[in-house]
Structure 1
Amino acid sequence: MTVSHNLDGAALDLELKGLIADVLGLDPDQAQAFGPDSGLFGHLPELDSMAVAGLLTEMEDRLGIVIEDDDVDGEMLETYGALRAFAEAKLGGR
């Protein structure tokens, strides 16, 4: 497990896409191809309601952040860009 604390944009992208691939069992190349508008929840069959919990837990572990229940909504999981913006906000708020 890698714990990343001070990530710039490129490093955050690499870490976030890597953890998505790991948690969802995606081909790493598929995850690396995600852009800001790439659909996640509702678009990737691997990202179901059960996988969301694993994804958020892994984000906490690898990014060194705390995600409260109130932080989680459908919009933050809708696209890769929304998830990345959420992670950036959490990292900036520490």
Structure 2
Amino acid sequence: MQQYLDEVKTLLIDTLALGPAGQHLNEHSALLGSIPELDSMAVVQLIGALEEQFGFSVDDDEISASTFATLGSLAAFVQHKLTA
């Protein structure tokens, strides 16, 4: 999962324009509700970026707050999508 974690972290930093502050994020870093830049519009942008980067599509019913709870949960979602 580490490779997905690093790629998702980079994508998150770029999509939300977190800059150097984003480098401190790790697998256990809380996302939704903890990063002000991650609002509802940013979630939509991030999903689009994930779809483009990894070549899968995300259905509306696959999106939940738990998916965006931590960097680790988001990376696990990506891993699941790529191995399903």
Q: TM-score, normalised by structure 1?
A: 0.81
- SS of the equivalent of 1:56 reads helix
Unpaired runs of at least 5, structure 1: 1-8
RMSD over equivalenced CA pairs, Å: 1.3
Unpaired runs of at least 5, structure 2: none
Q: Which runs of 4+ in 1 moved over 4 A?
A: none
Aligned pairs, how many? Answer: 84
1:71 to 48, 62, 67: 62
1:46 to 12, 34, 37: 37
Q: Percent identity?
A: 36
Asked if 2 retains the 8 angstrom alpha-carbon contact of 1:41 and 1:78, the reply is: yes
Could you tell me how far 1:32 is from its partner in structure 2? 3.4
Q: TM-score, normalised by structure 2?
A: 0.90
**How far apart, in 1, do the equivalents of 2:72 and 2:61 lie?**
20
Q: Report which of the two has the higher share of helix.
A: 2
- The match for 1:3 is none
